């Protein structure tokens, strides 16, 4: 393996025909380049789309009322459907298990004001949500300071709030908001925590308050805007069955036509996520397909120039055999040459691809395309594939070299 003479010969053979070697090398380099770059871009796309899912827990089902489209059981169409505490209790009985859940009340444009120590009012329009404690996981919020809404807040309908980074920035600036009193639509709340939501710009403009407090203040009819159910580690199929069951149960209770797609909304994030996941499996397969095809074309090129080389060197190989060369030494000469060709040109393609991706990555910042990167395992795998393909492409020509009979190679005519 570390035989200096063998390597010198490989170097000589590779360099003896620069044009031929370069062209083949380019096709191999291109194969790896395309494979790795496309993989990186696919990664970027996947990161972008997964960023979209970072907003909410992937394993969750979201239920809310809508507006009917079809007349049913004596009701006119265009009727708003409102959920109640009783509906929520009923829905919950339709679930296989409820590892966590949260009701939600949403106010889109509440006025939130903080009177600072100088007696100066700072305020703005923000969102407000009444939530249960488990909401933090379902919305994938990250607590930054203090605490989140807890069980006692809800049972005692306390007037406490957990505020998002935009509220902190606009109202408090450098002041620590913990313990401060703010007015939400003129009702006084105490700030007990701050959070951020990396997956959603909107959610960062929101203040969370206990569900019961919100219902008493803003839904005096006992309405519930939304219910969120975690599905834990249930299989996707089971969650789909559960969300289907919830949907038909709710439609029945609310007198919504079974074919009405707008009356109630039961969104299963599991399902959506599984769909995206399968799309990405497809994309990945496609990328591998193209990359491996190009690589294969490169390998065929390498096998070809080796075959030509072996043919050109028929006489030389005959001489070597006459001088006592074993078949093994002839095979290793050819296979070493192919492996060196594949490895050198492949590594070049790999380096170019990594270079391109690392320079482009910081520039890429689109909602659906973020942080394209080279998976190190893929780069490593590509190198292993290169060596294997190099060995394989050298094998055919090597066997041809072995088959050369010295008498025929040496005949003087």
Partner 1 sequence: MIDLLGITKTYTTGAQSLQVLKGVDLAVETGELVAIMGSSGSGKSTLLNILGLLDGYDEGMYRLDGKNMAQLTERRAAELRREMLGFVFQSFNLIGFKSAAENVALPLYYQKVPRKERLRRSHELLERVGLLEWADHLPSQMSGGQKQRVAIARALAAQPRVILADEPTGALDSTTSEEVMVLLKELNGDGMTMVVVTHEAEIAAECQRTIRLRDGLVETGAHV
Interface ranges with partner 1 (CB under 8 A): 4-5, 12, 16, 315-316, 318-327, 329, 405-407, 410-412
Nearest distance from residue 312's CB to partner 1, in Å?
11
Q: How many of the other CB atoms lie within 10 Å of CB of 333?
A: 21
**What is the distance between the alpha carbons of residues 92 and 86, in angstroms, rounded to a whole number?**
10
Residue 26: alpha-carbon gap to chain centroid: 32
Nearest distance from residue 16's CB to partner 1, in Å?
7
Is the Cβ–Cβ distance between 164 and 204 less than 8 Å? yes
Nearest distance from residue 392's CB to partner 1, in Å?
24
Which lies closer to partner 1 via its Cβ, residue 247 or residue 313?
313
Q: 9: which residues sit within 8 A by CB, 6+ positions away?
A: 333
Nearest distance from residue 323's CB to partner 1, in Å?
5
Nearest distance from residue 322's CB to partner 1, in Å?
5
**What is the distance between the alpha carbons of residues 230 and 247, in angstroms, rounded to a whole number?**
16
Which lies closer to partner 1 via its Cβ, residue 84 or residue 314?
314
Which lies closer to partner 1 via its Cβ, residue 5 or residue 367?
5
Which lies closer to partner 1 via its Cβ, residue 121 or residue 327?
327
Distances from the Cα of 4 to the Cαs of 9, 11, 321, 339, in angstroms? 9, 10, 20, 16
Which lies closer to partner 1 via its Cβ, residue 6 or residue 297?
6
Which lies closer to partner 1 via its Cβ, residue 367 or residue 412?
412
Which lies closer to partner 1 via its Cβ, residue 388 or residue 410?
410
369 phi, psi to nearest 5 deg: -150, 105
Is the Cβ–Cβ distance between 194 and 147 less than 8 Å? no
**What is the distance between the alpha carbons of residues 132 and 154, in angstroms, rounded to a whole number?**
7
Nearest distance from residue 36's CB to partner 1, in Å?
36
Nearest distance from residue 393's CB to partner 1, in Å?
23
Is the Cβ–Cβ distance between 408 and 315 less than 8 Å? no
Q: 231: which residues sit within 8 A by CB, 6+ positions away?
A: 59, 60, 61, 99, 238, 239, 242, 270
């Amino acid at each position: 393996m570390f035989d200096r003479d063998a390597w010198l010969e490989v170097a000589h053979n590779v360099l003896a025909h620069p044009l031929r070697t370069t062209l083949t090398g380019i096709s191999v380099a291109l194969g790896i380049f395309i494979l790795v770059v496309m993989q990186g871009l696919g990664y970027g796309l996947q990161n972008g789309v997964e960023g979209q899912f970072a907003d909410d827990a992937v394993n969750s089902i979201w239920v809310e009322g809508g507006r009917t489209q079809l007349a049913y059981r004596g009701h006119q169409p265009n009727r708003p459907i409102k959920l109640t505490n009783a509906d929520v209790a009923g829905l919950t009985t339709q679930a296989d298990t409820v590892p966590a859940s949260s009701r939600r009340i949403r106010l889109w444009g509440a006025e939130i004001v903080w009177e600072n120590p100088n007696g100066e009012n700072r305020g703005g329009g923000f969102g407000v949500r009444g939530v249960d404690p488990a909401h933090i996981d379902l919305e994938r919020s990250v607590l930054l300071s203090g605490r989140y809404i807890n069980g006692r807040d809800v049972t005692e309908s306390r007037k406490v709030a957990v505020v998002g980074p935009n509220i902190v920035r606009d109202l408090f600036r450098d002041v620590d908001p913990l313990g401060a009193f703010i007015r939400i639509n003129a009702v006084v709340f105490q700030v007990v925590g701050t959070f951020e939501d990396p997956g959603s710009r909107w959610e960062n403009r929101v203040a969370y308050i206990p569900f019961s407090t919100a219902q008493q203040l803003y839904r005096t009819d006992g309405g519930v805007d939304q219910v969120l159910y975690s599905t834990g580690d249930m299989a996707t199929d089971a969650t789909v069955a559960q969300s289907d069951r919830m949907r038909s149960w709710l439609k029945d209770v609310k007198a919504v036509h079974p074919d009405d797609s707008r009356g109630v909304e039961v969104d299963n994030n599991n399902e959506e996520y599984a769909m995206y996941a399968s799309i990405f499996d497809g994309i990945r397969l496609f990328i591998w397909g193209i990359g491996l095809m190009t690589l294969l074309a490169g390998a065929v090129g390498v096998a070809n120039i080796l075959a030509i080389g072996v043919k050109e060197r028929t006489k030389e190989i005959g001489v070597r055999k006459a001088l006592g060369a074993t078949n093994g030494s002839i095979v290793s000469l050819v296979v070493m040459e192919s492996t060196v060709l594949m490895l050198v040109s492949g590594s070049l393609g790999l380096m170019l691809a990594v270079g391109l991706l690392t320079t482009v990555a910081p520039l890429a910042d689109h909602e659906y395309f973020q942080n394209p990167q080279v998976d190190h395992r893929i780069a490593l795998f590509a190198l292993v594939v290169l060596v294997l393909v190099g060995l394989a492409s050298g094998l055919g020509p090597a066997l041809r070299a072995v088959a050369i009979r010295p008498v025929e190679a040496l005949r003087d005519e």
